[in-house]
């Protein structure tokens, strides 16, 4: 029933009185007098319902939404939800009603219903041409709830903005809230949670307005390792400014990459920067505020005696970073090393070329003019080996994705499958090199699925080429991962049709499936698996004799009916030596009565 009704005294100016009650309620809210505010809103609503309808198109829903907020403060959840519902039902164009309703549901832990009501609000925004800001508010709240949701999917047809301008405003709002985890959810789909409903839905947006420096400053090391660096790479690939990143962090890109590598134990971001932005000698040999080059920084940490520190040093040298510059103390990087150090050996075997000899670091001239004469470095003792400078190739990103996948596949398999599927589907890269990456990814996916009792197969993985998906199927066949195999096949058929993978089970010995250790005690699961295989090319040897014997041996009596219905001959049924099939059937019936 609506709150408003036919006006009783249309000539009386209720509007002014309503206004006074609202002002009084707002004053009480500031004093946190929620009981008094509720009383004022009750009075305001009662009087507003007496005003002609044409004058209350905004007044009543405003009061309802405000009263819902007050009732929520007072923990009167049912009444607060009732106000929100009345606003939504009678004034669906007043978008704030959906917002208030979601607040109540969120407070009471009903996250799925809260998402539903926000989704309805987004639909109403389109129907009633609501201001864009309303869409931004609702979508930010919905994405935040889903980002925190533990379920992998809520299976909804969610309202995702199509307008890039609205998407940009949503990202800007999340940046303002420092909700980088939420942004990662929308942009890359990589984040600590499990929900996939909105994962990666903003991946194609132009992020030239995003300052990656803020991301790097406002996230912890653990967050960078988990999802932050992958988000930074995605933003930079899609238009974010490298220069703004340097300005925001207060360091050159080469030092940002090295610092990240040392903190996180991963060289992915450093490799990405070297392969994209750090493409000149000036950028590679930038010094930090202490007057150190990137090579100085790595060596001074003492990490070069370890495998990872040496890997960073080797990466810098192979990409053209020079080690002939001195720091503010007038020392070369090698002077901080002992002859027994791994880094010392590495520097001895590399020659930066004649252009690096006798080069003065001009950036140090202003502060250390007295050291200029010392900057002529004798490196004639170095062996004349050309420096290997890898050329940028299209598969570099694929290699980065492979390394990232190795780190995430155990903890976030479904999301990692999605990222890997994009690489697997790539067709324009170097065939030989890319195929090796694809083969390794398919092997990783197969091994990951094999370790999961009930694997989730995301849609992007189902969209890879048939022969590639068949590699996963064959890998599970080889490993005798029967449960996972049927899941993989069933999901593919749901996506592409029941006739796909028609004979995947042609070479499977059903008796080995029945006797497999994973099937012990799993009667219904075994029935489902055997049924699927019999419909997909599997055959029973010797009229099913071996399968029947295997079923009896493993006490898998329930599978016998399935075998018989698919052509196994009952005359082969025997429980004890000398049994006739009838005796055996009676024995099995007794066992089934016992629950076997």
Q: In the predicted model, is pLDDT for residue 107 greater than 80?
A: yes
Out of 184-193, 208-217, 245-254, 391-400, which region has the weakest mean confidence (pLDDT)?
391-400
What's the pLDDT score for residue 572? 67
Q: In the predicted model, is pLDDT for residue 348 greater than 50?
A: yes
Residue 593 banded pLDDT, cuts 50, 70, 90 = very low
Residue 353 banded pLDDT, cuts 50, 70, 90 = very low
What's the pLDDT score for residue 384? 39
User: What integer best gives the mean pLDDT of the chain?
Assistant: 82
**Can you give the CATH number for the domain in which 386 is found?**
1.25.40.20
As a residue count, the chain comes to 596
Residue 458 resides in a domain: no
**Higher local confidence (pLDDT), 534 or 369:** 534
**Higher local confidence (pLDDT), 302 or 172:** 172
What are the distances in angstroms from CA 11 to CA 5, 18, 22, 52, 526?
A: 15, 15, 21, 10, 79
In total, how many domains does the chain have?
2
Q: In the predicted model, is pLDDT for residue 352 greater than 80?
A: no
CA atoms within 13 A on the CB side of 410: 3
Residue 577 resides in a domain: yes
Residue 83 resides in a domain: no
Query: Rounded distance, CA 364 to CA 204, Å?
Result: 43
What's the pLDDT score for residue 526? 84
Provide mean pLDDT across the span 317-332: 90
What's the pLDDT score for residue 429? 64
Residues 217, 248 contacting (CB under 8 angstroms): yes
Residue 541 resides in a domain: yes
Question: Tell me: the pLDDT tens digits for 140-159?
Answer: 999 999 988 766 565 567 89
Residue 422 resides in a domain: no
Residue 388 banded pLDDT, cuts 50, 70, 90 = very low
The tokens 């905004």 sit on which residue? 58
53 CB-near residues (< 8 Å, 6+ apart): 4, 7
Residue 471 resides in a domain: no
3-state secondary structure of 85: helix
Out of 43-47, 401-405, 563-567, 591-595, which region has the weakest mean confidence (pLDDT)?
591-595
Provide mean pLDDT across the span 424-449: 86
Question: Tell me: the pLDDT tens digits for 522-531?
Answer: 778 888 888 8
What's the pLDDT score for residue 570? 77
Provide mean pLDDT across the span 411-435: 82
Out of 94-108, 329-343, 387-401, which region has the weakest mean confidence (pLDDT)?
387-401
The tokens 């990456």 sit on which residue? 437
Q: In the predicted model, is pLDDT for residue 203 greater than 80?
A: yes
Largest CA distance in the chain: 106
Which residues span the domain enclosing 595? 511-596
Q: How does 394-408 read in b/e, with b if 16+ C-beta sit within 10 Å?
A: ebbbbbbbbebbebb
**Highest-pLDDT range among 102-106, 191-195, 536-540:** 102-106
**Higher local confidence (pLDDT), 211 or 381:** 211
Q: In the predicted model, is pLDDT for residue 292 greater than 80?
A: yes
Residue 307 resides in a domain: yes
Asked which of 392, 410, 441 is the last residue of a domain, the reply is: 392
Residues 548, 516 contacting (CB under 8 angstroms): no
What's the pLDDT score for residue 379? 36
Residue 88 resides in a domain: no
Provide mean pLDDT across the span 563-582: 67
CA 285, chain centre distance (Å): 35
Residue 12 banded pLDDT, cuts 50, 70, 90 = low
Phi, psi values for residue 353, rounded to 5°? 95, 160
224 CB-near residues (< 8 Å, 6+ apart): 216, 260, 263, 264
Provide mean pLDDT across the span 235-246: 94
**Higher local confidence (pLDDT), 99 or 359:** 99
β-bridge partners, 539: 509
Provide mean pLDDT across the span 571-576: 66
Out of 85-94, 341-350, 388-397, which region has the weakest mean confidence (pLDDT)?
388-397
**Higher local confidence (pLDDT), 464 or 50:** 464
Among 406, 395, 359, 402, smallest CA distance to 378 is for 359
**Higher local confidence (pLDDT), 227 or 347:** 227
The tokens 């990232």 sit on which residue? 404
Provide mean pLDDT across the span 475-480: 88
String of DSSP letters for 466-514: HHHHHHHHHHHHHTT-HHHHHHHHHHHHHHH-TTSSTTTTTT-BHHHHH
Residues 276, 240 contacting (CB under 8 angstroms): no
Handedness of CA 551, 553, 557, 558 (dihedral sign): negative
Phi-psi region of 251 (alpha: psi -120 to 50; beta: other; left: phi over 0): beta
Question: Tell me: the pLDDT tens digits for 499-523?
Answer: 788 778 777 888 778 888 777 777 7
**Higher local confidence (pLDDT), 101 or 13:** 101
């Amino acid at each position: 029933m609506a709150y408003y009704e036919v006006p009783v005294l249309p000539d009386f100016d209720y509007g002014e009185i309503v206004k006074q009650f609202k002002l009084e309620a707002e004053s009480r809210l500031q004093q946190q007098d929620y009981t008094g505010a509720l009383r004022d809103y009750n009075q305001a609503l009662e009087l507003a319902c007496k005003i002609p309808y044409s004058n209350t198109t905004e007044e009543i829903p405003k009061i309802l939404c405000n009263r819902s907020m007050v009732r929520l403060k007072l923990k009167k959840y049912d009444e607060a939800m009732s106000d929100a519902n009345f606003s939504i039902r009678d004034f669906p164009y007043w978008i704030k009603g959906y917002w208030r309703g979601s607040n109540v549901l969120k407070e009471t832990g009903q996250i799925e219903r809260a998402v539903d009501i926000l989704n309805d609000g987004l639909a109403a925004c389109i129907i009633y041409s609501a201001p864009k800001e309303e869409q931004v508010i609702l979508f930010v709240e919905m994405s935040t709830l889903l980002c925190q949701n533990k379920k992998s999917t809520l299976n909804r047809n969610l309202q995702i903005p199509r307008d890039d301008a609205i998407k940009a405003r949503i990202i800007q709002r999340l940046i303002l809230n420092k909700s980088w985890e939420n942004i990662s959810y929308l942009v890359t789909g990589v984040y600590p949670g499990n929900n996939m409903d909105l994962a990666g839905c903003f991946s194609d947006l132009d992020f030239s307005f995003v300052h990656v420096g803020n991301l790097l400053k406002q996230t912890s090391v653990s967050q960078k390792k988990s999802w932050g660096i992958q988000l930074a790479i995605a933003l930079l690939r899609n238009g974010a400014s490298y220069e703004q990143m340097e300005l925001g962090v207060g360091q050159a890109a080469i030092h940002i990459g090295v610092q990240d590598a040392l903190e996180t134990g991963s060289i992915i971001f450093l490799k990405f920067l070297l392969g994209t932005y750090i493409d000149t000698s000036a950028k590679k040999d930038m010094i930090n505020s202490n007057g150190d080059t990137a090579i100085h920084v790595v060596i001074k940490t003492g990490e070069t005696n370890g495998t990872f520190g040496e890997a960073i040093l080797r990466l810098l040298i192979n990409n053209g970073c020079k080690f002939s510059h001195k720091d503010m103390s007038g020392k070369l990087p090698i002077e901080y090393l002992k002859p027994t150090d791994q880094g010392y050996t590495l520097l001895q075997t590399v020659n930066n070329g004649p252009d690096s000899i006798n080069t003065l670091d001009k950036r140090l001239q202003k502060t250390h003019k007295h050291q200029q004469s010392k900057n002529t470095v004798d490196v004639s003792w170095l062996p004349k080996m050309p420096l290997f400078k890898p050329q940028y190739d299209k598969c570099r990103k694929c290699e980065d994705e492979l390394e990232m996948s190795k780190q995430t596949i155990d903890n976030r398999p479904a999301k990692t499958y999605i990222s890997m599927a994009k690489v697997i589907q790539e067709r324009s890269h170097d065939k030989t090199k890319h195929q090796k990456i694809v083969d390794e990814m398919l092997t990783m996916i197969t091994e990951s699925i094999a370790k999961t009792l009930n694997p989730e197969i995301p849609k992007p993985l189902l969209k890879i080429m048939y022969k590639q998906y068949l590699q996963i199927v064959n890998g599970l066949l080889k490993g005798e991962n029967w449960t996972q195999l049927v899941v993989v096949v069933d999901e593919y058929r749901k996506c592409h049709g029941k006739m796909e993978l028609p004979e995947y089970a042609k070479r499977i010995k059903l008796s080995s499936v029945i006797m497999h250790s994973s099937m012990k005690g799993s009667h219904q699961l075994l029935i489902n698996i055997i049924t699927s295989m019999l419909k997909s090319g599997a055959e029973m040897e010797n009229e099913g004799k071996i399968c029947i014997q295997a079923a009896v041996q493993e006490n898998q009596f329930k599978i016998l009916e399935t075998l018989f219905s698919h052509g196994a001959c009952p005359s082969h049924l025997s429980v004890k030596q000398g049994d006739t099939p009838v005796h055996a059937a009676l024995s099995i019936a007794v066992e089934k009565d016992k629950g076997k």
